[in-house]
Amino acid sequence: MPYIQFLGAAGTVTGSKHLINTTYDSSGAQGYQVLIDCGLFQGQKEWRERNWQDTPVPAREIDAVILTHAHLDHCGWIPRLVKEGFQGQIYATQATIDLCSVVLPDSGHLQEEDAAFHNKKGSSKHSPALPLYTQEEAEDCLKYFKAVEIEKPIELSPELSFRFVRAAHILGSCMAEVTLRTDGQMRRLLFTGDIGRVRDNQVAPGKVVHSGPQEGESADVLVMESTYGNRQHPDTDPRPELARLIRETVQRGGNVVVPAFAVERTQKFVFMLKELMESGQIPRVPVFCDSPMAIKAVQIYLKHAEEYTPQAADLIKKYGSPLGWAGFTFASTAEESKKINDNKFPSIIISSSGMVTGGRILHHLAQRLPDPRNLVIFIGFQAPGTRGAIIKGRAPEVKIFGEFVPIRAQVAALEQFSDHADPPELLEWLRTFKGTPGVTYLVHGEPAASSQLRDLMKKELSWNVQVAEYMERVGVK
């Protein structure tokens, strides 16, 4: 019987990795083996340590990877898989491949920096501490990627084919519809990857790419994410509040600092600022986008105009590339980044990392957190224990570069920018299904989120829903 094994994103939101094996019998004969996503475990040490464990089947025996999107928790283990001997093809959309060509080498670079840091401090139990993979290894693995068009069926083996359908999560993101033909039976498996917002405009404004995952799906087995299984997004438009916060900060002569992920979130925020400026809701203060990766990501967005929402397409038609917008400065080099600090007038600074775990945002916050005229706005999830969570929680001080920096600036958080559907949106999407899946496995959620969504789906839809467990192997009946 074919089976699926959950090698990650089970009991947590990172490390997405689901193995399909088309045949398996007691003689140990292996069928065609494909991994849906190959993500990095992030966050708590207990999870990160799993990045160092081998896959339960040797990497060289895995025939292919189908990649839903370019977030590291879905693609960040690919260089390691290749390092372990994988030599198959990695199927993804062209936009996902373009983003991976930026995101993966950057991840390798960070792994190298981490190892160097531990070696300098002697803070690793391994001597010498090694990177999970290097920047060069990450660049090298890109040769295994193969671009696949959305909705085009791809035959991987006589018994397994797949096609991508839109997930509307970030640029290039897709769900994988897998068709298995074994034992004279045909079964449809749907792996959602991350699911984008179902509705647009007022409740999820500022989206650059299409809103709304593919409707009318059907599946015998549904493997679905549950990140927001126990949380609901605010149903208010964030623009009036954002405009008011910015106006008040500018009036008192302060700066606005926005920690944001370089891919998707920064682009979304930049588009919204432009809209607010052009409609006269905020003053035309300088905007600095201080992230080399965000600049590369903007270039990739410009290349994939087919994914824009009508609003994003309109903005670009009217005002051209964001990289050329008057008053918007994209800082690429360290020199350009330092110059932002010479600016003594009110401005808006967007920089990464989104959870203030590292990157150029540290310099901007170290300099601006002590001044009550300034404003820090969070537009993304802050994992417990990160500097972002400490600042968002309005602690009196936060440690940056080994020193305690007092938090006197105003701190605000807007929760509407999420790129994940929440429970009402998920139900709305699931109700478009043609027929009831035989079984649904919930992945990619903290235990409380997954179990709450399971209960909700049972109650509202009467579906057979189970929360997937780490390393659990389930037969495809």
Pairing of strands 221-225, 185-191: parallel
Distance CA 434, CA 426 (A): 15
Query: How many alpha carbons lie under 13 Å from residue 320 in its C-beta half-sphere?
Result: 5
Q: Looking at 60-68, 187-195, 321-329, 405-413, which segment touches Zn ion (CB under 5 A)?
A: 187-195
Q: Looking at 190-198, 291-299, 305-313, 382-390, which segment touches Zn ion (CB under 5 A)?
A: 190-198
Q: Which is nearer to Zn ion, 39 or 259 (CB)?
A: 39
Strands (E), 113-159: 145-147, 154-157
Q: Provide, rounded to whole angstroms, the least separation between the CB of residue 198 and Zn ion.
A: 16
Alpha helices, H only, 203-347: 239-251, 265-278, 292-303, 310-319, 334-340
Pull the structure tokens for residue 281.
């809701």
Q: Provide, rounded to whole angstroms, the least separation between the CB of residue 74 and Zn ion.
A: 6
Q: Provide, rounded to whole angstroms, the least separation between the CB of residue 477 and Zn ion.
A: 29
Q: Which is nearer to Zn ion, 91 or 325 (CB)?
A: 91
Q: Provide, rounded to whole angstroms, the least separation between the CB of residue 363 and Zn ion.
A: 27
Judged by CB under 5 A, the residue of 98, 137, 194, 275 near Zn ion is 194
When asked if residue 197 is in the footprint of Zn ion (CB under 5 A), the reply is no
Output b/e per residue, 199-235; b: 16+ Cβ within 10 A.
ebeebbbbbbbbbbbbeebebbbbbbbbbbbbeebee
Pairing of strands 33-36, 328-331: unpaired
Tokens 């339960």, residue located: 56
Q: Which is nearer to Zn ion, 40 or 350 (CB)?
A: 40
Q: Provide, rounded to whole angstroms, the least separation between the CB of residue 13 and Zn ion.
A: 9
Distance CA 199, CA 333 (A): 38
DSSP state of 135: H
Q: Which is nearer to Zn ion, 71 or 454 (CB)?
A: 71
Q: Which is nearer to Zn ion, 177 or 194 (CB)?
A: 194
Distance CA 197, CA 195 (A): 7
Nearest one of 127, 36, 26 to 77, comparing CA atoms: 36
> Binding-site residue total for Zn ion (CB under 5 A)?
2
Q: Provide, rounded to whole angstroms, the least separation between the CB of residue 169 and Zn ion.
A: 5
Q: Provide, rounded to whole angstroms, the least separation between the CB of residue 99 and Zn ion.
A: 11
Q: Which is nearer to Zn ion, 80 or 169 (CB)?
A: 169
Pull the structure tokens for residue 394.
């309005």
Residues 69-108 binding Zn ion (CB under 5 A) are 71
Q: Looking at 12-20, 100-108, 193-201, 363-371, which segment touches Zn ion (CB under 5 A)?
A: 193-201
Q: Which is nearer to Zn ion, 99 or 256 (CB)?
A: 99
Pull the structure tokens for residue 184.
């004279």
Sequence-distant (≥ 6) Cβ neighbours of residue 315 within 8 angstroms: 271, 274, 275
What is the per-residue binding string for Zn ion in 52-71, x denoting contact by CB under 5 A? -------------------x
Q: Provide, rounded to whole angstroms, the least separation between the CB of residue 194 and Zn ion.
A: 4
Q: Which is nearer to Zn ion, 174 or 312 (CB)?
A: 174
State the residues that interact with Zn ion by CB under 5 A. 71, 194
